[in-house]
Amino acid sequence: MQLPRYSLPPKLRIDFAAAWGPVYRGKRVLELLKSEGKSVCVGDYVSKLCAEALPQGLYIAIIDGKIQRGAIEYRLPPHDIQIKVSNPPGSITIEAYTSLCRLLRNPPERRVIVLVNGEEDLLALPALDCSEWPVIYGLPGVGSVFVWKGILRIIRVGSALLSLNPATIPL
């Protein structure tokens, strides 16, 4: 049996490494998270910042348990809802995409953690495509990228998703 997915062609990796919104570092990231309230946080480091800035607030954290491919040394606080999805590196599975969009189009009024078996990096795309909340994701060595709902998101995400190659993964 094969698991449907989109894969990132090697020639597009540089395009996907660019920030799709303003980049912030340090205390400014925590200030913005606090001012936004509801946020979608993609990546373990950014999700740690969300948990720190919004200890009682609403956020959706999408994590794989690693920072730059290494095991993490912290634990996120308990969340009200946990969802598990599979998503191999350099891919977006249809399962992950549909699960995230279902969650993000009608987010619960509770904190959520999405535990990814594989890699969460490209799951910023479905988050940008489906969320009404701001999406924050990290660029290693650069900072935290904030993307608010708007026309830039719609144009770039739609084009990016169309650039991915359909494929399957053996189960």
Query: Domain for residue 6, yes or no?
Result: no
Q: What is the pLDDT of residue 11?
A: 77
Query: Domain for residue 3, yes or no?
Result: no
Structural domain boundaries enclosing 92: 24-170
Q: Quickly list H helices, the chain.
A: 13-16, 27-36, 44-53, 94-105, 124-130, 151-163
Q: What is the pLDDT of residue 157?
A: 52
Query: Domain for residue 28, yes or no?
Result: yes
Q: What is the pLDDT of residue 13?
A: 74
Query: Domain for residue 1, yes or no?
Result: no
What does pLDDT average to in each consecutive run of 10 residues of the chain (171 residues)?
A: 71 76 91 90 92 86 80 67 90 91 90 92 89 91 86 50 50 49
With contact defined as beta carbons under 8 Å apart, do 101 and 126 qualify? yes
Among the listed residues 6, 136, 140, 19, the one whose alpha carbon sits nearest the alpha carbon of residue 70: 140
If one counts the domains in the chain, the total is 1
Query: Domain for residue 10, yes or no?
Result: no
Query: Domain for residue 7, yes or no?
Result: no
Q: In Å, what is the CA distance from 137 to each residue of 4, 49, 63, 148, 165?
A: 25, 11, 11, 12, 23
User: Rounded to an integer, what distance in angstroms lies between the CA atom of residue 94 and that of residue 100?
Assistant: 10
Query: Domain for residue 150, yes or no?
Result: yes
Among the listed residues 66, 27, 17, 76, the one whose alpha carbon sits nearest the alpha carbon of residue 43: 66
19 Cβ neighbours under 8 A, 6+ residues apart: 139, 142, 145
CA angle 95, 121, 151 (to 5 degrees): 85
The pTM of the full predicted model, rounded to 2 decimals, is: 0.83
Among the listed residues 4, 161, 14, the one whose alpha carbon sits nearest the alpha carbon of residue 96: 4
Query: Domain for residue 143, yes or no?
Result: yes
DSSP for residue 103: H
